[in-house]
Structure 1
Amino acid sequence: MRNRVSFALSDLAISGLLNRPKRGLYLPTRRGQELSKEYGINITRTLIHNEPAYKKYKQEKSNQKKNRQKRENKDLAESQVKEWFNQQDEKTQDELLNHLVKMNPYKFENLMVQLLSVMGYKGDEGQALVTQKSNDHGIDGIINQDPLGLQKVYLQVKRYAPDNSVQMPEITAFSGSIKLKHADRGVFITTSTFTQGAINAAKDLNITLVNGEMLTNLMIQYQVGVEVKEHYMTYKIDGNMF
């Protein structure tokens, strides 16, 4: 009963038939007095809901609901689009990794050197090159970051199957090759992963590691070995123009 009374009082207030000057106090408005004189105790829910103030209130509530639904639908649509793009990226990464594993070793080395160059390791006037197939002493590529080659980044790459992780001895051997060049840093790239021992050694020996997942992400980001299939754009209103 209390809920019914509460809803009735609320409807009367929304319709402009009652005023609530303070909590628990209800006073009839002029319009409320007019209806009371005309209908007495026969005032119905239909009469109350036909009042202009009540109709205006319901219309505003309806508009708010529609706007909220529009925002929710927009957010849902955007999330669905983002999810679709993420799925496409993951598919491209899987295909890309499969191609990398099957590549000619020398072409793979060239591609990795190209990637680092596009990423900006080469600098504005530097030079990037792949070492000779033999006698490279564990160095697959060299990035000269300045015209004179005073700053160098040494690169080693491994086309390993996903289940063949790079081990710590390979990292330490690469570090030894770098030190023979009187350098102190390098980049080790693999199509697979690194063991925890290899990761720990790389941190101590100042070697940057790039595993298969990171590699394909970088290649897509810098568009090396891939090309744009479709380009989609979404727009919003520029409020500064109006």
Structure 2
Amino acid sequence: MSRFEALAEGQGAAVAVPRFYEFTLPILRRLADGEPRHWRELRDECIGEFGLSEQDRLEATPGGSTRLDTRVLWANTHLFQAGLVSRPARGEVQITDRGREVLTNPPDVIDPSYLDRFPEYRDFQSRTQQKDTHEPAAEAGSTEKVTPLESISTAVAESAAALHGELLRRIVAQPPEFLEHLVLKLLTAMGYGGQAGAVEHRGRSHDGGIDGIIRQDPLGIDRVYLQAKRYTDAAVGRPNMQAFVGALHGVQADRGVFITTSRFSQEARDYIERIPNRIILIDGQRLAELMVLYDVGVQVEETFTLKRIDEDFFE
């Protein structure tokens, strides 16, 4: 029965697709047994719980995806950013110890205001550099006075923040050598090395404090030396900088790039500012931004086109 037919018979309209945060608690409960589940399986179970009609299930977004799929995926993203679930395999989610703890005394709804109690989620929200962006402003019933462009920009900012956080978690979960190869690939994608140059991975043993080298010319006269540190909570401090500078002196180099998945202490930054060596510092946030910018480890999911009137056409 269509929504119009239901309304005509006095039965009310069919249930609309819930907002993304209304899926979070049902999803978490379905993961309580500790087994990993594919997001599509969780989606299908939520269809029955919310009594969604065929029309609801097929309702499309402007980008071509279904609204149901988009919101279930976004619910999983927020649970992941808060550390309530992990992603053990592609397309799968699994409850964490923190998720189990939440289920011992669950709230009525796990919405963004509830998730704000977790530091990882607050970091995720701060990366958006936006306020009150938990739901796109163009949602039905919204009274916010924003333009479509502002709404899209807000949604893109929050999606990018989630992507940055997930990229860093994936990198940290890999062996240290993964980061070393990653930064070489990233700098190559950025244009360093070029067709005439070359990149070299030095490895973890006997590297002398140098993890990689980029030769900018065929003869290797112009070189950039790399150091990569896969840290989680610890900041890269001044001693790390001094060791890297010492390694550069050992190969008679005066410039390099230091990359970390965490952050640099203020003492480390101050030290780099005072020395004559030219050293570029790339922290975890900047690393993730560059990966997205140069399409390393990511792929395009959807593309939107926003058009406007061509004023010249009507002149």
Normalised TM-score (structure 1): 0.66
- Is 1:160 the counterpart of 2:234? The answer is no
> Which residue in the other structure is 1:81 paired with?
152
Q: Provide the aligned length of Structure 1 versus Structure 2.
A: 169
Query: C-alpha displacement at 1:123, in angstroms?
Result: 3.0
Separation in structure 2 between the aligned mates of residue 202 and residue 233 of structure 1, nearest angstrom: 43
- Is 1:219 the counterpart of 2:291? The answer is yes
Which of 219, 222, 234 is the matching residue for 2:306? 234
Structure 1: state its 5+ residue gaps.
1-72
- Is 1:178 the counterpart of 2:251? The answer is no
Separation in structure 1 between the aligned mates of residue 147 and residue 246 of structure 2, nearest angstrom: 53
The 5 A counterparts of 1:1-242 are 76-161=147-232, 163-203=233-273, 204=275, 205-240=277-312
| Identity across the alignment (%) | 41
Separation in structure 2 between the aligned mates of residue 132 and residue 147 of structure 1, nearest angstrom: 22
Separation in structure 1 between the aligned mates of residue 206 and residue 312 of structure 2, nearest angstrom: 63
Separation in structure 2 between the aligned mates of residue 100 and residue 77 of structure 1, nearest angstrom: 35
Q: Secondary structure at the match of 1:188?
A: strand
Query: C-alpha displacement at 1:104, in angstroms?
Result: 1.7
Separation in structure 1 between the aligned mates of residue 180 and residue 278 of structure 2, nearest angstrom: 21
Normalised TM-score (structure 2): 0.51
- What amino acid maps onto 2:198 in structure 1? Q
Query: C-alpha displacement at 1:132, in angstroms?
Result: 2.9
Separation in structure 2 between the aligned mates of residue 160 and residue 213 of structure 1, nearest angstrom: 13
The 1:240–1:74 alpha-carbon spacing in structure 2 relative to 1, beyond 3 Å, is farther
- What amino acid maps onto 1:97 in structure 2? L
Query: C-alpha displacement at 1:207, in angstroms?
Result: 1.0
Deviations along 1:162-186, one digit per CA (max 9) or x if unpaired, are: x200010110110111111111000
Separation in structure 2 between the aligned mates of residue 200 and residue 106 of structure 1, nearest angstrom: 28
> Is the 2:209–2:244 contact (alpha carbons within 8 Å) kept by the matching residues of 1?
yes
- What amino acid maps onto 1:229 in structure 2? E
Separation in structure 1 between the aligned mates of residue 231 and residue 242 of structure 2, nearest angstrom: 18
Q: Cα RMSD between the aligned structures? A: 1.6
Query: C-alpha displacement at 1:240, in angstroms?
Result: 4.3
Separation in structure 1 between the aligned mates of residue 159 and residue 148 of structure 2, nearest angstrom: 17
- What amino acid maps onto 1:88 in structure 2? S
Separation in structure 1 between the aligned mates of residue 170 and residue 164 of structure 2, nearest angstrom: 10
Separation in structure 1 between the aligned mates of residue 303 and residue 193 of structure 2, nearest angstrom: 29
Q: Secondary structure at the match of 1:235?
A: coil
Separation in structure 2 between the aligned mates of residue 201 and residue 124 of structure 1, nearest angstrom: 34
- What amino acid maps onto 2:260 in structure 1? T
